[in-house]
Structures are given as C-alpha cells and as structure tokens.
Amino acid sequence: MRISELAVPDAYLIEPDHVDDSRGTFYETIRYSALGEIAGHELVLRQVNYSVSSRNTVRGIHGTALPPGQAKLVTCVRGVALDIAVDMRVGSPTFGKYAVTRQDAEAGTAVYLPDGIGHAFQALTDDTCMSYLCSQEYVPGTMIDIDAFDPELALPWELSGSVIRSGKDVAAPTLAEAADAGLLPGYEECIASYGESYGRHGRVTGASAGR
C-alpha cells in the first residue's frame, strides 16, 4: 500500500495495491505498523461505525473534542463518496484548509484523520456505505459539528440535486463561530495527543508504507 500525507498535515491518504486473479481481487485496507511508522503514532481501535446514505447526502463536518478525541480511518465500502478532511485545530498553520479524496468501494482508498481534523463527505451514489475505524468509543456531548456549507470554507461539493442533511448538521456553526465559542481543539493540544498515543503504546515496528 501507499501512504501519503494529505494537503491537511497529519492526515493521510492510504491507497492499497490490488492482487487480481481469476477469483477476483485481494488487498490490504491498512497495516497498522505502516501507518504508525509514517504518522509517528499508533491507531488503536475502540469502535467501528458504518453509515449508509442516499445520493446527495452530505454528512459533517464532524470532529471530537479533546479529551477524549477520536481519530478515524474512513473507507467507502459500497458506492462512491466525495470525502473531505478539514483542519479544525486552532493555531494550526493550515487552520481551515481542506483536502478532498474521491473514494469508491472498488479502489478501497482510505483516509486517516487524527484528532483535530474534521470529516465530511457527500454520497455520490445511492446506498453509499462508509466504514469508520475509531480510536475511542463515542462519548455523548463531545462531538464537534461545523457547517459543511460554511461560505468561508467553500468546500467543493458536487451536488446534482437537493442536498440531504440532518437537522443537527444544518444548525451547526461556521468554523469561525466555533473557534470564537471555544469549541475547537488547539493545534498544540492535538500535536501533544499524537505524541501521547505514540509513547503510550510503544514504538510501532514493522514494514514501512511500501517504500
């Protein structure tokens, strides 16, 4: 597999190599030692989620307060999705910057989003299913919601009809409003949390990311 940093620092694109034969195809979604060597900290799984969405559904932008935080490995396992990562870390050199990844079940592409990186996606087909491997269990009251249509962010959605969103997402503040209200994690706080994860679980060993 190939692991490369996105335009949002500390977030990574994971592209698997497929092995094809007469039966079909096989590929590794993630090798944790490889991600750990590249990211500098380990992803430990505590919860696995799935969402199923109709075409033109937009979910997000979602994040989690620190503590407890919740890093995510996100993959489209059915259908096609336009996936967007947003830097929500106050004080980050790339605060408000975003990175777009087109995901589909056939390719098996994934993105790794550490604490402080918000996540949103648009379902480009009906019955789009997204998988989330999470570093922490869900804690009520710790979710951070940002308006996916924040005009200052100007995220490049590819809508072909009326957008479908939850009431919670529609009512979410802009990134600037959330920052002014003290809802967002700080950049240094997030960087420290990455180091704590790395030290707590020990140095990750194993193959590098296909290099």
Q: Summarize pLDDT for 47-102 with one digit per residue, the tens.
A: 999 999 999 999 999 999 999 999 999 999 999 999 999 999 999 999 999 999 99
User: What is residue 186's DSSP assignment?
Assistant: B
Distance from C-alpha of 160 to C-alpha of 162, rounded to nearest angstrom: 7
Local structure of 189: helix, strand or coil: helix
Do the beta carbons of residue 72 and residue 134 sit within 8 Å? yes
Instruction: Check if 62 is active-site.
Output: yes
Through-space distance between the first and last CA atoms of the chain, rounded to whole angstroms: 9
Strand 110-113 relative to strand 12-15, pairing: antiparallel
Q: Summarize pLDDT for 156-203 with one digit per residue, the tens.
A: 999 989 999 999 999 999 999 999 999 999 999 999 999 765 443 333
Do the beta carbons of residue 77 and residue 53 sit within 8 Å? no
Residue 87: what residue type? D
Instruction: Check if 41 is active-site.
Output: no
Residue 192: what residue type? A
Percent of the chain residues topping a pLDDT of 70: 92
Confidence at residue 200, expressed as pLDDT on a 0 to 100 scale: 38
pTM: 0.89
The one catalytic residue among 12, 62, 187, 194: 62
Do the beta carbons of residue 184 and residue 90 sit within 8 Å? yes
Query: In the structure encoding, which two tokens stand for residue 43, read together?
Result: 């992803």
Q: Phi-psi region for residue 2, left (φ > 0), alpha (ψ -120 to 50) or beta?
A: beta
| Domain range 2-198, CATH class | mainly beta
Do the beta carbons of residue 54 and residue 164 sit within 8 Å? yes
